[in-house]
Amino acid sequence: QHRLLASLGADLGAKDGGVGAGGGSSRRLTLIYGYSMGGLQAYEWAVAFPEAVDRIAVVCGASRCGELNRVFLRSLEAALTADGCYDPQTDTFRGRPTRGLAAFSSIYAGWGVGEAWYVERSYAAAGYETADDFVTRSYLPAFAQCHPSDLLAQVRAWRSADVAAHAGGDWEAALQRVRARVLLMPCDGDKYFTLPEARKEAAALGVRCSLVPICSPAGHRAGDP
């Protein structure tokens, strides 16, 4: 993480715009934008390297993986590893887990958009005739060609994300490390990174944070760039 930020131009040897390790003026990253897991990463850098970041914009993301989010991710891992191609001894796949990927995609479809997307048939405005048509033409093909080991790695990295690791498990203390201005844009229908959780983050960040919710039946996908 340190090397990556340095490669982007941040002088991590200096604090608050002072003199860097190389003797020159330090450079801070003007803005880190993150959607979804990118939001987790934006927070990670703002907490781990507060002197290197001026602003972060977190869209449909959060500073940690919440409990409801963990339940969702657990179901994804269970679906994928239930496929007969999965070898629990080596934690690898001996072949392509077609059924596991289909189950993974189908579960994702129930969480990736807001409740209103289905209940109010908002999918129709996006060109889908029914909820099943949306799942079949949107989610199933989206994951069909993914590498299953990559998906497992993504799920596990997502589940373990928590800036509290930088403050001995104290989440609020971790957020107090942030020196950047924070634009926090959760969606009111997001089931992963919920609006109530975002409000708690904004309260912990105080005046550094601007909370600007997105109102959309698309849920988490409302922030998809």
By residue count, the chain amounts to 225
Cα distances from 211 to residues 62, 140, 188, in angstroms, run: 12, 33, 12
**What are all long-range contacts of 69-76, with beta carbons under 8 Å and residues at least 24 apart?**
69/158, 69/159, 69/192, 69/193, 70/159, 72/107, 72/111, 72/191, 72/192, 73/155, 73/158, 73/159, 74/159, 75/107, 76/104, 76/107, 76/108, 76/151, 76/155
Q: What is the pLDDT of residue 10?
A: 80
In one-letter notation, the amino acid at residue 79 is A
The candidate with the shortest Cα–Cα distance to 51, out of 4, 2, 11, is 11
β-pairing verdict for 181-185 and 55-59: parallel
* Residue 118: exposure state from Cβ atoms within 10 A (0-12, 13-18, ≥19): middle
Quickly tell me which residue has 């409990």 as its tokens.
67
Phi/psi for 192 (5° steps) reads -85, -65
What local confidence, expressed as pLDDT, does residue 187 receive?
A: 98
> Helix, strand, coil % (nearest 5) of the chain?
50, 15, 35
Q: Which residues contact 32 (CB under 8 A, 6 or more apart)?
A: 41, 42, 45, 46, 53, 55, 56, 57, 180
> For residues 215 and 45, what is the distance between their CA atoms, to the nearest angstrom?
27
Per residue of the chain (225 residues), what is the pLDDT tens digit? 888 888 887 877 644 443 333 434 457 899 999 999 999 999 999 999 999 999 999 999 999 999 999 999 999 999 999 999 999 999 999 999 999 999 999 999 999 999 999 999 999 999 999 999 999 999 999 999 999 999 999 999 999 999 999 999 999 999 999 999 999 999 999 999 999 999 999 999 999 999 999 999 999 999 998
pLDDT given for residue 118 in this prediction: 98
